[in-house]
Amino acid sequence: YIMTNKKSKIIIASAAGHLYGLHTSERGYPVFSYEWRPLHEIDPSAKHTEKFIKLLEKVCKDADYYINACDYDIEGSVIGYLIILFHGSLEKALRAKFSSLTPSELRNAFNNLTTLDWEMIEAGLCRHELDWIWGINISRALMSSVKSVSGKKVVLSAGRVQTPTLKHVVEHEIERNLFIPIPSYLLSVNIVKNNEKYHPEYKGESINTFLEASELAKTIREAGYLKVVKYEEKKVYLHPPPAFNLGDLQEEAARIYGFSPYKTQSIAEKLYLDALISYPRTNSQKLPPTLNYRGILEKIKSIPNYSQLVNTLFQETKGVLKPVQGPKDDPAHPAIYPTGVKPVNLKPDEWKIYDLIVRRFMAAFASKAELVHRNVVFKPIRGTGKNIVFQLTGQKILFLGWLKYYPFSKPRETMIPSFKLGEEVPIYSVRVRRTYSKPPEKITRIKILRWMENVGIGTEATRARIIELLFKRGYLRSVGGKVEATNLGLGVIEVLIEHFPEITSVELTRYFEEEMERIRKGERKRSDVVRDAKKTLLSLINSFEEKKSIIGKLLSYRLGLISPEKKCLLCNREEYYNGLCKYHYQAVEILRQKYHVWREKEGVSWNEYLKQLRKLRSTGKWVREIIENYSPTMEP
């Protein structure tokens, strides 16, 4: 595109994401020498980038100055920097900073150009270098170990962020598959009030055995009444949520629509490129006071779905638009907001994400929601020798407030009657309810992403992509919308934890993330951080070499390239002990440990214990396989 501005001719040329990548001509590992090369020369899937480079090469000649107008984030800073480095002049380089692609914001950005954002560039270059040296060296080491044992060349990968993330999923998987549910006991009671039955929850002291629970139920049943020992009715306020950052948007889209983080991010990026929303890859939950809130809402009002809601918001706020500000901030971009540009021809899923963003934006200006909450506490009228307590709660929405605009968080209304302190309420029924401890919930893509956020690894831009890479490599698979580690994923982490534990460490990954943040703040030099990373990696590789054949053998087993001398009786994994793989052997050991708890609580024999576990759906997969196919004994 060619345009004029104040008599200057401006040529606008596009990148296509990254046009340059790190490359080395050296074979083997460790390798620490590398250079930036055109991506199409080193990555067959990036052939389409060649035409962009040729065009940039042509239009950049003899320009008076160069403006980096890529996304204002670390990646955008690096993309623009490398183009100017190879095709222009850094001495003539300027930066355009904007958070949305509306004409007014773009004009403002070009009227207020700054020098290049060197701290962002240095932090971005450091991230690329660290990811490259960790990824290529660890991956080559793993592939070399397999080839040395099997003679086969396979593609394996590991990385600074990828590997700790895989380890988290694997540990979760192991915990679920080795899970043995433990029984506990509650008293389930129904009471009668105004000819209606109500079911207060048991909130008392823990009951140790089924026999004890049965005796307590009998005592309460014979007493016939529960006494109200506490009655509380109060107003509760739900404060409006702040505008979305990317993580919050991904979480809500997963909860409401079942979208993967990667899908949500991709849709949000398209909405941004269509100038419908501000820059989505942000961590901020804050809206700046410089934003024209009323102007945006007036534009949104022209969209039929929102016209009545905007009118209501203006009436409720009396025109005073002050958004809720969340605690999280981002130095580069505000929270995600709609620009007010009218959407045209959005696909159904695109509309869903756009609608979430618009409604959450409106909710940030709205009033608190108001509920009335009733809480009743009951105790048996006759002493039991134990602290037996039941609780009944109910709530009703009095004023919707922000829930009018963002109804996806509307609480469930459950009204209960009022009670008087000291009132004796007749019991309809009492029984013992046996419950079982639950395994960790099955993991999902959004839970993995939230875990990455919480432990501080990866960035808003990279987390969803890294999760998808683990699927592409065959380390993870999707089963019914949930995530499971594959046998290969288990094997890779098993090898690395035992022989190369530092690579799986969240702490080491987070340390380098923090160092890159210090570079962005101007507190550290890129060269120092990269030097420290090389030193750490070299030490790990030297340790790896001593165990290379052991590692190669185990990975080759899991890849099916060679057969173990002895296989597990229940699966194809290599034998660990007594005819079982490591995981099935652990299942036997845990079965024996937990039997003592079951015997104390239920008074069951070993065979009855196994029979009960077999019936329970929450029994771990590997434990169930042992029970059904191995006939374990109580003693080793």
DSSP 553-608: HHHHHHHTSS--SSB-SSSSSBP-BTTB-HHHHHHHHHHHHHHHHHHHHH---HHH
For the chain, how big is the Rg over CA atoms in Å?
Answer: 31
Question: To which H or E segment does residue 94 belong?
Answer: strand 93-95
279 is catalytic: yes
For residue 342, the 8-state DSSP code is P
Residue position matching structure tokens 């701290």: 119
Residue position matching structure tokens 């922000």: 402
For residue 277, the 8-state DSSP code is B
The token pair that represents 55 in the structure block: 């065009």
Q: Say how many Å lie between the first and final Cα of the chain, rounded.
A: 77
Question: Any idea of the CA torsion for 346, 347, 352, 353, to the nearest 10 degrees?
Answer: -70
Which position among 72, 185, 279, 595 bears the catalytic label?
279
Cβ atoms within 10 Å of 401's Cβ, excluding its own:
20
How many angstroms separate the CA atoms of 508 and 205, rounded?
Answer: 43
How many angstroms separate the CA atoms of 110 and 98, rounded?
Answer: 9
Q: How many CA atoms lie within 13 A of 142 on its CB side?
A: 26
Q: Classify burial at 162, counting beta carbons within 10 Å of its beta carbon; exposed 0-12, middle 13-18, buried 19 or more.
A: buried
Q: Which residues contact 313 (CB under 8 A, 6 or more apart)?
A: 297, 362, 365, 366, 405
Active site residues: 279
